[in-house]
Amino acid sequence: MGSVGAKDVPVLLSPEGLRIDGRKLDELRPIHIEAGALHQADGSAFVEWGANKVMAAVYGPREVHPRHLQQNNKAVIQCRYNMAAFAVDERKRPGLDRRSQEISKVIAEAFESVVFAEEYPRTSIDIYIEVLQANAGTRCAGLVAASVALADAGIPMVDLLPAVAVGKIGGAIALDLKKEEDNYGEADLPMALVPQSGRLVLLQMEGHMTEDELAQSLDLGVTGCRAIYEKMKLALRERYSVAPVPGGSA
Amino acid sequence: MSGEVAAEIRTTHILDLAAEGKRLDGRGVDEYRKVTVETGYVASADGSALVHLGDTTVLAGIKLEPGKPFPDTPNAGVLTTNAELIPLSNPTFEPGPPQPGAIEVSRVVDRAIRAAETIDLTRLCVTPEEKCWTCFTDVHVLDHSGNLIDASLLAAVSALAHTTVPAKRFGIAEADYALDVQHLPIECTFVRLGDVIVVDPTFDEEQAAQGRLTVATDETGRVVAMQKGLVGAFSPDDVKAITRRAFVHGERLRQVAKGGGP
């Protein structure tokens, strides 16, 4: 990806164990979540996560299009993950490619695991994720944004879905890879957690790690997800907290 | 459908208000919503601008890549404009091939950029017949609360006016340089609501509209593009009056595009 000519692989980990942006191995990039960022959607959220900028919107429950997807006993959950042409270094052709379609599918399935879809038979809950600026971890940022957007739309769910990618760089397991680490690292493992049950509803992996490293990665990812979970709840509280009424009773 | 009944009641209400010279959001008939432009919003783009026009939000990103000139214009670079009305931005948009509305926005924005000679295409030529820059303008509509054409062109020209040519990255020159923008076209859109013609329609006003007219002007006093849309009609006097108003608004919006600030 990224590099135009043949370049040397950058040093991803300093002798002191710090990463190229100065983070420790178990440190997340800065995350800012804004619930209710759009006006037309039933629910929405904007997530700025490191150099990622991702918008999510939720529409529904509403009529199902195309009609043949309609289910008589529950809502169908449809997801469209899309990347803007200018979101990456080398312009991406607009529209859905195979990567986007796969990500859309695994994200939809992750939400099917937590949304009380049986409450809305014969309807569709449509999730739209737009990556405006990409710097590794966009599916996780998209999941976090979509999850907050679902809550903003008032869709009943078991729990919010925090997500993060863990990877292996310079032989070490690291939380929340940025672009260079994703490009030149040895492994990438995105996951989404149901905090209440401690179970993962999205898990993918590419690269190579040992069994021990995998176990370590899962633990680190779960810890990371729990930290992100707090930020998601905070964003929703900010959106829906009512300013205290002067002189009102507590 | 209750939604359709509500829309009809809203349309009637908008038309009733317009007859008294009023609008649903309290604006005057010749008043734009609040406009802000934030350039350099996307770090991965060579130029970008996020435009808020009231509740409408549009993001334009510019990407330049080396390419080959078209055989019939061997001394010119290539310019393409594409607008995506993604389903995230409005409940009426569905995934799939571009809808006629999206194609219209793309083409009307592209036409203004081309006709105004916003970019001198000969300066995008590197080696005649062999190598030139291809300049992609991608407009992403994020929140469709009406008047996409004005917001999209404003985002596109604001982004172009703040674009860096990545000449060093592609090994074409020693250093990157600012893209030269010679003209700044601005489109102003009006809709008819009964006997009244209002500027900068909201989404609901567009649903109620009996005709839409967009006029693009540049800083030299030229009208560079026009587009009539929706069902409805305008008299030649209407068109003249609208053009005058488009020049006045265009002058102000151009300063917003140049400054990249409110």
CA atoms within 13 A on the CB side of B231: 2
Task: In whole angstroms, give the CA distance from residue A28 to residue A173.
Answer: 13
With helix as H, strand as E and coil as C, how does A52-98 read?
EEEEEEEEEEECCCCHHHCCCCCCEEEEEEEECCCCCCCCCCCCCCH
- For residue range B1-40, list pLDDT tens digits in order: 467 788 889 999 999 999 999 999 999 999 999 999 999 9
Q: Is B106 part of a structural domain of the chain?
A: yes
**Which token pair is B17?**
């208000």
Q: Is B105 part of a structural domain of the chain?
A: yes
Residue in the structure block whose two tokens are 């808020």: B52
**Nearest alpha-carbon partner for A87 in B130, B140, B231:** B140
Q: Is B206 on the interface with A (CB under 8 A)?
A: no
Q: Is B52 on the interface with A (CB under 8 A)?
A: no
- For residue range A84-109, list pLDDT tens digits in order: 999 999 999 988 888 898 899 899 99
A41 and B88 within 8 Å at the Cβ level: the answer is yes
The predicted structure's pLDDT at residue A33: 98
B136 and A85 within 8 Å at the Cβ level: the answer is yes
* Sign of torsion over alpha carbons B84, B89, B90, B92: positive
Q: Is B62 on the interface with A (CB under 8 A)?
A: yes
Residue A69 has pLDDT above 80, yes or no: yes
The predicted structure's pLDDT at residue A18: 95
Give Cβ neighbours of residue B205 (< 8 Å, ≥ 6 apart). Answer: B14, B23, B24, B146, B191, B193, B198
Q: In A66-221, which ranges are E strands?
A: 76-83, 124-133, 163-169, 172-175, 187-194, 199-203, 206-207
Q: Is B21 part of a structural domain of the chain?
A: no
Instruction: Give this complex's ipTM.
Output: 0.73
Q: Is B142 part of a structural domain of the chain?
A: yes
* Sign of torsion over alpha carbons B1, B4, B5, B6: positive
B87 and A38 within 8 Å at the Cβ level: the answer is no
Residue A6 has pLDDT above 70, yes or no: no
Ordered by where they begin, the domains of chain A are 31-237 (3.30.230.70)
pLDDT band at B231 (very low <50, low <70, confident <90, very high): confident
What total number of domains does chain B contain?
1
- For residue range B39-86, list pLDDT tens digits in order: 999 999 999 999 999 999 999 999 999 999 999 999 999 999 998 888
Q: Is B22 part of a structural domain of the chain?
A: no
Q: What's A159's DSSP letter? A: S
Residue A35 has pLDDT above 90, yes or no: yes
The predicted structure's pLDDT at residue B171: 92
Q: What's B181's DSSP letter? A: B
- For residue range B49-60, list pLDDT tens digits in order: 999 999 999 999
**Which token pair is B117?**
């000679």
Residue B46 to chain A, least CA–CA distance (Å): 8
Q: Is B86 on the interface with A (CB under 8 A)?
A: yes
A4, A21, A39: which to substitute to probe chain B, counting the most B Cβ within 10 Å?
A: A39
CA atoms within 13 A on the CB side of B213: 19
Q: Is B162 part of a structural domain of the chain?
A: yes
The predicted structure's pLDDT at residue B262: 40
Residue B145 to chain A, least CA–CA distance (Å): 7
**Which positions in chain B touch A40 (Cβ < 8 Å)?**
55, 89-91, 143-145, 203
The predicted structure's pLDDT at residue A57: 98
Q: What's B113's DSSP letter? A: H
**Which positions in chain A touch B170 (Cβ < 8 Å)?**
4
Residue A248 has pLDDT above 70, yes or no: no
Task: In whole angstroms, give the CA distance from residue A181 to residue A77.
Answer: 33
Q: Is B143 part of a structural domain of the chain?
A: yes
**Which positions in chain B touch A80 (Cβ < 8 Å)?**
87, 95
First CA to last CA across chain B, in angstroms? 41
Residue B244 to chain A, least CA–CA distance (Å): 32
Q: Is B19 part of a structural domain of the chain?
A: no
Helix (H, G, I), strand (E, B) or coil at A105: helix
Task: In whole angstroms, give the CA distance from residue A213 to residue A219.
Answer: 10
The predicted structure's pLDDT at residue B195: 93
Name the region of B21 (left: φ>0; alpha: ψ -120 to 50; beta: rest): left
Rounded (5°) CA angle B94-A56-A138: 115
User: Which residue from A minimizes the CA distance to B169?
Assistant: A4
Task: In whole angstroms, give the CA distance from residue A133 to residue B83.
Answer: 17
Instruction: Provide the CATH number for the domain around residue B66.
Output: 3.30.230.70
H/E stretch holding B60: strand B56-67
The whole-chain average pLDDT of chain A stands at: 92
Show the domain range for B49: 2-14+27-259
Residue A61 has pLDDT above 70, yes or no: yes
CA atoms within 13 A on the CB side of A238: 14
Residue A189 has pLDDT above 70, yes or no: yes
Q: Is B42 on the interface with A (CB under 8 A)?
A: yes
> What is the gyration radius of the CA atoms in chain A, in angstroms?
19
